[in-house]
Amino acid sequence: MSVRVGQASEARSFQEAAPDSLENSQLRHNIRHATHVIRDKRGKIVGEMPDWQQLRDAGSAIKAHVMRNLDFYLEQFEANVTKAGGHVHWAADADEARTIIRELIEQHGSKEVIKVKTMTSEEIELNPELMAHGIAPYETDLAELIIQLGEGQSSHFVVPALHINHLQIQKIFKDKMPLQEMGISELGEKPPELAEAARRYLREKFLRVKVGVSGANFAIAETGSLVIVESEGNGRMCLTLPEVLISVVGIEKVVPAFQDLEVFFSMLARSATGERMSPYTSVWTGVNAKDGPKEFHVVLLDNGRTRVLEDDEGRQALHCIRCAACLNACPVYGRTGGHAYGAVYAGPIGAILMPQLQGMEHSQSLPYASSLCGACYDACPMQINIPEVLIHLRSQIVQEKQSHIGGKLSGENLAMQTMRKVFQSETMLRIAHKLARIGQGPFVDRNVIPHVPGMKAWTQTRDLRAIPRQSFRDWWKEREKAGKSGGRP
């Protein structure tokens, strides 16, 4: 098995990539606007639910239960899909998934596919594979279409094009769409006009293309059904009109029973877009002779998920229902956007999922891309304790570093070992205090340290208070000597 999640293994570290994003004022403006809008909407719509916490309790319990019994539920799902006339394929990694999907399309003979937005497709990098084999994949989700035509990169997995403004979209459409043929002589810049252009561009594809590719939000073991939650209707088009439907679904998407949707349907749209329900939710099972595709395939994707399952603490990352509430709540993501994470899954969930899926050599800067503020944990409908998993992953990174001599001798490790020793002895602590007070001497200017080499990362932009002449414990000792009544604090 060779796990590969998008381009993560070639990406720059977060520390290297973030400064570029932080300087991009268009991105900063758009992402601030988008995350604040959704955050406010989410806050209001969740605020009207007196039983939100009870839903979270049920959701996290169901997911934890599924992970503990994942083999059972996957087999039950497979049996039911097969019973309903569908085919189940098992993909150990991205390579296998790509090959399976491509071969299924080639078997059918179609040179085009219409696609519903799915993170799993990006994860396995399906589009390049298809194109390399003469198959044209058409993204039909408006944001994915914009990114595909503009040859860009998604920056948010619910609102992928949030870093792009309407003028940029207008240009992309003008450059890449056959507007005249579509009956549009002048394409304006207003969102409704842009949406109309997208509608016309895609409609002829929906009515014509014979193979559809999708993911799924949930896979129901009890019935062998898949669920897709969406806003525009492009999902329904791809699920209903083609002759063949191929759905690539992460193995963690499984839920036990149809009735369990009562929990997830009550939380997903509220968390993702601040709506009670998205405009369309589709549930389908295998093949229905009178309705929809004649041939249906599910590709169950591992690609590192079983590795995540091995970690007792880290496995809660598999509970994610991809609502992106954590992204919208995160003060770090909200300023750097998704590109700085260099990963298909960005933001807080990306920071804990990517290192576990891909392995620690890649993505190891991600667990440190957080101030541990906890806003993500508050927002997560599945109660994934992201800060705790971040610390857990940091500890794995540190232990890995310490296992070889280079890491042992790193500045950070030596500093940490020194601090530990100092904190293990009152005497050493007092000495350290004295040394610090002496050491700061040359750098103090009017009670403040504006600059000190070795602490450049801080003093470049922030002043540092000078260490006072007397520590608290010194003051207390003095006070005790003077007898308490004498020393007024």
Number of residues that bind other proteins (CB under 8 A): 161
User: Cβ(299)–Cβ(100) under 8 Å?
Assistant: yes
Based on the shown chain and the rule CB under 8 A, indicate whether residue 96 belongs to the binding site for other proteins.
yes
Q: How far apart are the first and last CA of the chain?
A: 66
Of 24, 153, 258, 295, the one binding other proteins by CB under 8 A: 258
Question: Least CB distance from residue 180 to other proteins, whole Å?
Answer: 21
SS3 145: helix
Q: How far apart are CA 283 and CA 299, in angstroms?
A: 17
Of 46, 179, 295, 368, the one binding other proteins by CB under 8 A: 368
Q: How far apart are CA 203 and CA 430, in angstroms?
A: 75
**Residues between 170 and 209 with contacts to other proteins, criterion CB under 8 A:** 191-192, 194-195, 198-199, 202-203, 206-207
Based on the shown chain and the rule CB under 8 A, indicate whether residue 300 belongs to the binding site for other proteins.
yes
Of 236, 295, 407, 452, the one binding other proteins by CB under 8 A: 236
Nearest to 433 by CA among 399, 469, 405: 469
DSSP letter for each residue of 294-344: SEEEEEEE-TTHHHHHHSTTGGGGGG-----HHHHH-TTHHHHTTGGGTSS
**Residues between 113 and 132 with contacts to other proteins, criterion CB under 8 A:** none
Question: Least CB distance from residue 110 to other proteins, whole Å?
Answer: 16
Q: How far apart are CA 346 and CA 327, in angstroms?
A: 8
Nearer to other proteins, 310 or 361 (CB): 310
Based on the shown chain and the rule CB under 8 A, indicate whether residue 149 belongs to the binding site for other proteins.
no
User: Cβ(47)–Cβ(303) under 8 Å?
Assistant: no
Tokens 């998704």 found at: 338
Non-local (6+) Cβ contacts of 345 within 8 A are 5, 119, 123, 157, 353, 354
Based on the shown chain and the rule CB under 8 A, indicate whether residue 99 belongs to the binding site for other proteins.
yes
**Residues between 8 and 47 with contacts to other proteins, criterion CB under 8 A:** 14-15, 18-19, 22, 30, 33-34, 37-38
Q: Cα–Cα–Cα angle for 345, 296, 62, nearest 5°? A: 50
* Choices 129-137, 177-185, 261-269, 341-349 (CB under 8 A): range interacting with other proteins: 261-269
Of 9, 24, 152, 475, the one binding other proteins by CB under 8 A: 475
Of 120, 278, 356, 383, the one binding other proteins by CB under 8 A: 278
Question: Least CB distance from residue 486 to other proteins, whole Å?
Answer: 13
Based on the shown chain and the rule CB under 8 A, indicate whether residue 457 belongs to the binding site for other proteins.
yes
Non-local (6+) Cβ contacts of 125 within 8 A are 4, 6, 7, 94, 98
User: Cβ(161)–Cβ(143) under 8 Å?
Assistant: yes
Question: Least CB distance from residue 200 to other proteins, whole Å?
Answer: 10
Question: Least CB distance from residue 393 to other proteins, whole Å?
Answer: 8
**Residues between 376 and 405 with contacts to other proteins, criterion CB under 8 A:** 377-378, 391, 393-399
Based on the shown chain and the rule CB under 8 A, indicate whether residue 160 belongs to the binding site for other proteins.
yes
Based on the shown chain and the rule CB under 8 A, indicate whether residue 112 belongs to the binding site for other proteins.
no
User: Cβ(35)–Cβ(372) under 8 Å?
Assistant: no
Based on the shown chain and the rule CB under 8 A, indicate whether residue 481 belongs to the binding site for other proteins.
no
